[in-house]
């Protein structure tokens, strides 16, 4: 087993052990952070590895969230089915958006994905009779069960979040270490040269977006089913920017960076908002500090300076 | 596993960790050995009750949150001056939810698990309530919302979520219909934001005005991203007798200005709106002149009535609001007077509920819920300055009087007080049938 694989398994083992040792509040927080980190990891595939700066990932997260929520609300489909539907919805939406948006690159891609995401957000509001728009809806507790286990139970919720995050993280690791991942990195570094070498750049980027969408959809569905609420806020622009911040903080194109970034940003806001209403200013200062001292994110900079083997 | 066993499992999980067990053993041994053991226990039981206040200090609800905060502080000070609750002072533990449903759920967890609050209260915006309520139910934390949303009475939430301090939108809208149809007209055009808040008004008022023999002849939904409204006004039918508007947010000034330009100085239909549009906004703001002579729903009259009862004057003084509805320290700082009384009244309901339940600590949370569910009438007075109330324990929703005011000389003047019965409707749920 390589050092890289060992490190990631050790992180998962640490998270599993945390289930038994953390105080109640932080135990609940970590479950939430793992789900959000799965979303950030999904974003990292697109942004970190393939170099596509998307401002539309909220629609993939929202697709999973609403697929699971609406299936439970109107279809009577409980948690496991909801999660599967979430993955499919995220992947499908990413593939469809990708076919159109990948005709553009750079700033244009950013704007096109932002427009699609805004259209998706407004669609949620438009079909308010089913989605309850901005207000959202609560998923019935009997829809939040897996194999007879109640996802509202703290221990069950934690393991479910752990499973989703673990799957996404190991999936990211597999991508990072695969030839597909190397093609993505090549596209990020020099798209024209990659094309000249004979790779189908469009196909690789579309696949990256679909994989990312599937992971984001899984995170969205997991969020809905674990925390019992579905609302348009999660499809808003804010949720396209947050994964970008988390990934930049932890380190783009590092497998563990999205988790670290999500963890740090979560607690930065959690702690600072207890003391000041200007907590976003504190986040801003933290980001400036990050750019000055960790220009490639925390793990990205560490990889550059200390641990070059970090995937 | 039934929902009643889930909390037991949660307790067991947190109770049997090695760290907790060791801490408990060490703490117990130290306590048993220490002198003055009994006084220590007494000191614990006289410790302040911790009431978790989930407030919109940032985000779109910040203007409301600022005043909810002030009213809560004033109510808590009064309760403590009067001896607290069950002989114990109350401590308000405040956390900002950013008017965000995700953060709202996190704040509920923080208040319950980290701060060890006895309950949580104070949430206004519906999406934050919807996002937070499931967690409150899972944590078995009494959650008193001050939202005016219909979510509680609709049965969408859970037994731990109650709204005893402010009426819901369905009740408010229904109470308006009789007066509107009898005094303003029966052919109504509705202009509302195209999201859940607007849809609630559209659906509830359409039903209520039909029951009065009236009719909504056009429904104009404005997309939330809209910043100019002129192109929608030609859709107002010529035979409209009443325009009903519930626009909210920063676009409301533009909305009023453009509606005024559309009608000019010519004849216009009667205009009726909800003050939600203009909470924290001075009616005398340039651009709002067109509102002169129009009507508004108010949850509680912003401008002090000449015949205001003693308890209304007392409340107004305690929350620091002058006769014009502005802060006594800054006449430009307009209150959210039509809604913020909800925090005051909710805290007094909590006090009454805790006293009826003999509340001592979190183990008595179920007793507290049952005590509030058992409440029926709440007479107007210092605890209920907005007016008499009737609480429905089955739906966890309070009902009360509603006010209709007319804009005259850039001020609001009450022209009608709707009865409690005008706003009542058949039960849509029975939370008391749900297990704890």
Q: Does domain B46-167+341-400 have CATH number 3.40.50.2300?
A: yes
In a domain, A255, yes or no: no
The whole-angstrom separation of Cα B346 and Cα B348 is: 5
The whole-angstrom separation of Cα B110 and Cα B114 is: 5
The whole-angstrom separation of Cα A40 and Cα A254 is: 11
pLDDT for B161 beyond 70? yes
pLDDT digits (tens, 9 = 90+) for A34-89: 999 999 999 999 999 999 999 999 999 999 999 999 999 999 998 889 999 999 99
- Please give the pLDDT value at position B46: 80
The sign of the torsion formed by the CA atoms of B201, B204, B210, B211 equals: negative
Dig out the tokens for A137 from the structure.
Answer: 């809806």
Nearest CB partner across the interface for B96, out of A133, A229, A273 = A273
A257, B95, B407 from A243: Cα distances, Å: 11, 24, 47
Which residues of B fall within a CB distance of 8 Å from A153? 1, 6, 9-10
**A147 Cβ under 8 Å from any chain B Cβ:** no
The whole-angstrom separation of Cα B59 and Cα A235 is: 17
**A284 Cβ under 8 Å from any chain B Cβ:** no
The whole-angstrom separation of Cα B428 and Cα B395 is: 7
pLDDT for B157 beyond 60? yes
Average pLDDT estimate for B257-266:
88
Q: For residue A178, what are the contacts with CB-CB under 8 A and spacing of at least 6? A: none
pLDDT for B27 beyond 90? no
- Please give the pLDDT value at position B85: 96
Which residues of A fall within a CB distance of 8 Å from B9? 153, 155
Q: Where are the domains of chain B?
A: 46-167+341-400, 169-298+401-423
How far, rounded to the nearest angstrom, does the alpha carbon of residue A97 sit from its chain's CA centroid?
Answer: 17
Between residues A187 and B17, the one the model is more confident about: A187
- Please give the pLDDT value at position B42: 43
Cβ–Cβ under 8 Å, residues A36 and A262: yes
- Please give the pLDDT value at position B8: 39
Per the listing, tokens 């910043």 go with: B227
Per the listing, tokens 């992947």 go with: A91
pLDDT for B196 beyond 90? no
Cβ–Cβ under 8 Å, residues B52 and B324: no
pLDDT for A143 beyond 80? yes
Q: For residue B144, what are the contacts with CB-CB under 8 A and spacing of at least 6? A: B119, B120, B121, B122, B162, B163, B164, B165, B346, B349, B350
The whole-angstrom separation of Cα B355 and Cα B383 is: 14
pLDDT for B15 beyond 60? no
The whole-angstrom separation of Cα A27 and Cα A242 is: 22
Subunit contact A23:B113, Cβ cutoff 8 A: yes
The helices-and-strands tally (H runs, E runs) of chain B is 12, 17
Which residues of B fall within a CB distance of 8 Å from A23? 113
Cβ–Cβ under 8 Å, residues A194 and A186: yes
Tell me what the pLDDT averaged over chain B comes to.
88
In a domain, A184, yes or no: yes
- Please give the pLDDT value at position B18: 47
Dig out the tokens for B254 from the structure.
Answer: 């533009």
Average pLDDT estimate for B248-252:
73
**A277 Cβ under 8 Å from any chain B Cβ:** yes
A284, B150, B265, B321, B322 from B411: Cα distances, Å: 42, 29, 20, 15, 13
Average pLDDT estimate for B242-271:
87
Subunit contact B223:A141, Cβ cutoff 8 A: no
Subunit contact B199:A128, Cβ cutoff 8 A: yes
Rounded to a whole number of angstroms, the distance from the CA of B304 to the nearest CA of chain A is 32
Which residues of A fall within a CB distance of 8 Å from B157? 138
A123, B168, B190, B223 from B200: Cα distances, Å: 18, 11, 12, 15
Q: Which of A201-205, A224-228, B263-267, B334-338 has the lowest mean pLDDT?
A: B263-267
**A272 Cβ under 8 Å from any chain B Cβ:** no
Average pLDDT estimate for A209-223:
97
Average pLDDT estimate for A135-157:
92
pLDDT digits (tens, 9 = 90+) for B279-302: 888 998 888 888 899 999 999 999
Disruptive mutation site among A19, A22, A149, A229 for chain B (greatest number of B CBs within 10 Å): A229
Average pLDDT estimate for B181-210:
93
In a domain, A188, yes or no: yes
Subunit contact A134:B17, Cβ cutoff 8 A: no
Percent of chain A clearing pLDDT 70 (strictly above): 100
Nearest CB partner across the interface for B19, out of A21, A129, A280 = A21
The whole-angstrom separation of Cα B129 and Cα B256 is: 30
**A274 Cβ under 8 Å from any chain B Cβ:** yes
Reported as a pLDDT band with limits 50, 70 and 90, residue A4 is: confident
Tell me what the pLDDT averaged over chain A comes to.
93
pLDDT for B40 beyond 70? no
**A275 Cβ under 8 Å from any chain B Cβ:** no
- Please give the pLDDT value at position A1: 62
The residue in chain A having the minimum alpha-carbon distance to the alpha carbon of residue B59 is A277
Between residues A33 and B123, the one the model is more confident about: A33
Task: Collect all residues from B whose CB is shorter than 8 A from any CB in A.
Answer: 1, 3, 6, 9-10, 13-14, 17, 19, 57-58, 62, 95-96, 98, 100-103, 105-106, 109-110, 113-114, 126-127, 130-131, 133-135, 138, 149, 151, 156-157, 194-197, 199, 223-225
pTM comes to 0.86
- Please give the pLDDT value at position B78: 97
- Please give the pLDDT value at position A155: 95
- Please give the pLDDT value at position B386: 96
pLDDT for B45 beyond 70? no
Subunit contact A25:B110, Cβ cutoff 8 A: yes
Which residues of A fall within a CB distance of 8 Å from B1? 148-150, 153
Dig out the tokens for B65 from the structure.
Answer: 């949150």
Subunit contact A133:B126, Cβ cutoff 8 A: no
Subunit contact B9:A280, Cβ cutoff 8 A: no
Total number of domains in chain A: 1
Q: For residue A20, what are the contacts with CB-CB under 8 A and spacing of at least 6? A: B17
The whole-angstrom separation of Cα B270 and Cα B186 is: 11
The residue in chain A having the minimum alpha-carbon distance to the alpha carbon of residue B108 is A25
- Please give the pLDDT value at position B197: 84
In a domain, A270, yes or no: no
In a domain, A122, yes or no: yes
- For chains A and B, CB pairs below 8 A equal 116
pLDDT for A278 beyond 80? yes
CATH class assigned to B169-298+401-423: alpha beta
- Give me the domain span that covers residue A207: 22-236
pLDDT digits (tens, 9 = 90+) for B337-350: 999 999 999 999 99
Between residues B248 and A268, the one the model is more confident about: A268
pLDDT for A98 beyond 70? yes
pLDDT for B390 beyond 80? yes
Cβ–Cβ under 8 Å, residues B95 and B57: no
Which residues of A fall within a CB distance of 8 Å from B225? 122
**A149 Cβ under 8 Å from any chain B Cβ:** yes
A272: number of Cβ within 10 Å:
17
Which residues of B fall within a CB distance of 8 Å from A227? 105, 134-135
- Please give the pLDDT value at position A195: 94
Subunit contact B127:A233, Cβ cutoff 8 A: yes
Subunit contact A150:B113, Cβ cutoff 8 A: no
Nearest CB partner across the interface for B109, out of A28, A155, A228 = A28
Q: How large is the ipTM? A: 0.88
pLDDT for A271 beyond 50? yes
Average pLDDT estimate for B78-85:
96
Subunit contact B101:A233, Cβ cutoff 8 A: yes
Cβ–Cβ under 8 Å, residues A261 and A241: no
Average pLDDT estimate for A209-233:
96
Rounded to a whole number of angstroms, the distance from the CA of B293 to the nearest CA of chain A is 33
Subunit contact A21:B3, Cβ cutoff 8 A: no
């Amino acid at each position: 087993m390589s050092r890289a694989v060992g490190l990631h398994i050790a992180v998962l083992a640490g998270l599993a052990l945390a289930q038994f040792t953390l105080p109640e509040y932080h135990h609940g927080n970590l479950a939430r952070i793992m789900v959000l980190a799965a979303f950030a990891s999904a974003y990292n595939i697109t942004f970190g590895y393939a170099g596509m700066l998307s401002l539309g990932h909220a629609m993939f997260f929202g697709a999973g969230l609403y697929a699971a929520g609406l299936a439970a609300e109107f279809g009577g489909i409980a948690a496991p089915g909801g999660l599967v539907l979430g993955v499919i919805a995220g992947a499908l939406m990413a593939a469809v958006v990708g076919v159109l948006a990948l005709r553009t690159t750079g700033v244009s891609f950013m704007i096109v994905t932002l427009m699609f995401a805004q259209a998706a957000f407004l669609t949620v509001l438009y079909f308010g009779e089913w989605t309850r728009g901005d207000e959202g809806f609560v998923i019935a507790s009997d829809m939040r069960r897996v194999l007879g286990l109640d996802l509202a139970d703290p221990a069950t919720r934690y393991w479910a979040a752990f499973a989703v995050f673990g799957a996404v993280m190991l999936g990211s690791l597999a991508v990072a270490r695969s030839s597909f991942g190397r093609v993505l990195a090549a596209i990020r570094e020099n798209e024209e040269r990659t094309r000249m070498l004979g790779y189908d750049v469009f196909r690789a980027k579309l696949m990256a977006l679909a994989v990312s969408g599937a992971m984001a959809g899984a995170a969205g569905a997991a969020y809905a089913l674990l925390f019992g609420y579905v609302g348009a806020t999660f499809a808003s622009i804010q949720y396209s920017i947050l994964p970008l911040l988390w990934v930049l903080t932890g380190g783009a194109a590092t497998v563990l960076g999205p988790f670290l970034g999500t963890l740090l940003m979560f607690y930065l806001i959690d702690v600072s908002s207890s003391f000041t209403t200007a907590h976003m200013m504190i986040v801003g200062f933290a980001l400036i500090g990050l750019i000055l001292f960790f220009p490639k994110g925390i793990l990205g900079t560490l990889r550059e300076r200390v641990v070059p083997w970090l995937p | 596993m039934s929902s009643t066993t889930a909390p037991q499992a949660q307790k067991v999980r947190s109770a049997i960790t090695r760290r907790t067990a060791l801490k408990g053993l060490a703490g117990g041994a130290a306590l048993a050995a220490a002198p003055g053991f009994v006084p220590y226990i007494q000191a614990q039981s006289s410790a302040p009750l911790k009431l978790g206040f989930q407030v919109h200090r940032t985000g779109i609800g910040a203007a409301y949150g600022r005043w909810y905060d002030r009213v809560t502080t004033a109510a808590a000070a009064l309760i403590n001056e009067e001896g607290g609750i069950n002989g114990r002072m109350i401590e308000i533990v405040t956390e900002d939810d950013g008017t965000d449903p995700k953060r709202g759920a996190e704040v509920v967890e923080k208040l319950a698990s980290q701060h060890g609050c006895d309950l949580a209260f104070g949430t206004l915006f519906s999406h934050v309530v919807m996002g937070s309520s499931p967690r409150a139910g899972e944590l078995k934390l009494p959650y008193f919302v001050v939202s005016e949303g219909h979510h509680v009475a609709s049965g969408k939430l859970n037994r731990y979520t109650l709204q005893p301090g402010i009426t819901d939108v369905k009740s408010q809208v229904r109470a308006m219909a009789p007066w509107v149809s009898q005094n303003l007209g029966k052919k109504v055009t509705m202009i509302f934001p195209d999201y859940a808040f607007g849809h609630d008004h559209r659906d509830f008022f359409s039903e209520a005005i039909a029951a009065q023999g009236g009719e909504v002849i056009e429904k104009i939904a404005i997309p939330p991203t809209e910043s100019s409204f002129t192109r929608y006004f030609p859709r107002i039918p010529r035979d409209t007798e009443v325009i009903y508007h519930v626009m909210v947010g920063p676009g409301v000034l533009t909305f009023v200005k453009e509606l005024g330009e559309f009608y000019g100085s010519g004849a216009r239909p009667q205009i009726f709106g909800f003050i939600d549009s203009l909470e924290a906004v001075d009616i005398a703001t340039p651009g709002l002149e067109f509102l002169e002579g129009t009507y508004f729903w108010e949850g509680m009259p912003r401008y002090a009535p000449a015949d205001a009862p003693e308890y209304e004057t007392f409340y107004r003084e305690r929350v620091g609001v002058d006769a014009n509805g502005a802060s006594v320290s800054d006449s430009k700082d307009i209150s959210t007077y039509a809604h913020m009384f909800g925090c005051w009244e909710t805290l007094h309901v909590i006090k009454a509920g805790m006293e009826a339940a003999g509340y001592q600590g979190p183990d008595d949370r179920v007793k507290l819920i049952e005590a509030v569910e058992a409440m029926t009438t709440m007479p107007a007075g210092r605890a209920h300055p907005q007016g008499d109330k009737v609480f429905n324990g089955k739906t966890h929703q309070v009902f009360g009087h509603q006010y209709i005011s007319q804009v005259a000389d850039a001020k609001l003047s009450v022209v009608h007080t709707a009865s409690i019965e005008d706003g009542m409707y058949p039960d849509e749920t029975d939370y008391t049938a749900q297990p704890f």
